[in-house]
Structure 1
Amino acid sequence: MTTKSPRSTPTRHATAADTRAAVDALMATLAHPYKPGIEALREAILAVDPAIAEGVKWNAPSFRTGEYFATFHLRAKTGIVLILHLGAKARVLPGDGLAIDDPEGLLAWLGKDRAQVVFAYDADARRRIPALQAVLRQWIRVV
């Protein structure tokens, strides 16, 4: 029996914007000073788990398993910014929020349910991919 990859399996995210093709089209026209770093991070995020798919949300590349959990903030004034969140629905969380092991201090918490990761430039993003992937493995367990 042959099984399909989760990236090709139909889900409730079935709009044209919820596809890799939509992200490819967005990236083809993106004029951003750190586009190579964004592309490297995009592939690194997809490599974290085969259940991760991508789409365009808020006019930016976004990533999901059951719900969207990460979105690039392309209008940030400096560097490459990735916002980690828990989808559109409110979640009941422990009093002190999510427990994510972050030994390299990547996460800047914006609330109990969201954080941002800022990379100063392309090489910084590439250098910190392993640490980001470790954080994302934990994050997607909550989503």
Structure 2
Amino acid sequence: MPKERGTAAELAAADFMDKLEHPMKMEIEALRAIVRDADARLVEGIKWNAPSYSVDGQDRVTFNLQGKGMIRLVFHAGAKKNDLNVRATLGEDPTRLLEWAADDRAIVKLVDMDDVREKADKIGETVRRWLEATS
């Protein structure tokens, strides 16, 4: 059953984005839409001073806005390291987007709007596969 939009966390995320001053804000907004549209269960909030997405209270995808000239999407299996080996569960990455930081964490880097547009479908697919592997 799809969840209802407009939770306190989602309102906080909207407020955060309204106030955000970032050279790649347009790309961030486009990526937010791609991630949100990938799965209706995702709840958007703010973690680590960036948009973050959870399912059933478990963090799964978080933006890292600190890189110079890029945005990172961090795919993880929660806020704390755990024994879940998402890399093994997912197997080969058909999108070739994921850069593995650990067995339970991977990163996708995006450098500009063309990059976001070019990878949009693959990002959505990666979000769906990640949620399936971590559920």
How far apart are 1:7 and its partner, in Å?
A: 3.7
Q: 1:93 aligns with which of 76, 81, 84?
A: 84
2:6 and 2:28 mapped to 1: Cα distance? Answer: 25
Task: Give the Cα separation in 1 of the matches to 2:43 and 2:64.
Answer: 18
Contact 1:86 1:113 in 2 (8 A): yes
Question: SS in structure 2 opposite 1:31?
Answer: coil
Instruction: State the partner residue of 2:10.
Output: 20
Report SS of the residue matched to 1:21. helix
The number of residue pairs the alignment matches comes to 133
- The aligned residue for residue 103 of structure 2 is 112
For residue 90 of structure 2, give the secondary structure of its aligned residue in structure 1.
coil
Q: Map of 1:25-44 to 2, 5 A cutoff? A: 25-44=15-34
> Could you tell me the TM-score, scaled by structure 2's length?
0.86
Q: Which amino acid aligns with 1:128?
A: K
Q: Which runs of 5+ in 2 are unaligned?
A: none
Q: Between the two proteins, what is the percent identity of the paired residues?
A: 34
Task: From the superposition, tell whether residues 39 and 9 of structure 1 become closer, same or farther in structure 2 (CA, over 3 Å).
Answer: closer
**How high is the TM-score relative to the length of structure 1?**
0.82
Query: CA 1:7–1:102 in 2, change beyond 3 Å: closer, same or farther?
Result: farther
The alignment yields a C-alpha RMSD, in angstroms, of 2.3
Matched residue, 1:62: 52
1:128: which partner in 2?
A: 119
- 1:73 corresponding residue in structure 2: 64
Which stretches of structure 1, 4 residues or more, deviate above 2 A after TM superposition?
7-10, 88-98, 100-104
In 1, the alpha carbon distance for the partners of 2:110 and 2:100 equals: 15
2:42 aligned with 1:52: yes
Report the Cα offset of residue 44 of structure 1. Answer: 1.0
Q: Which secondary structure does the structure 2 equivalent of 1:128 belong to?
A: helix
Cα deviation digits, residues 54-107 of structure 1 (max 9, x gap): 100011100011211111101112211111111124433359644255223110
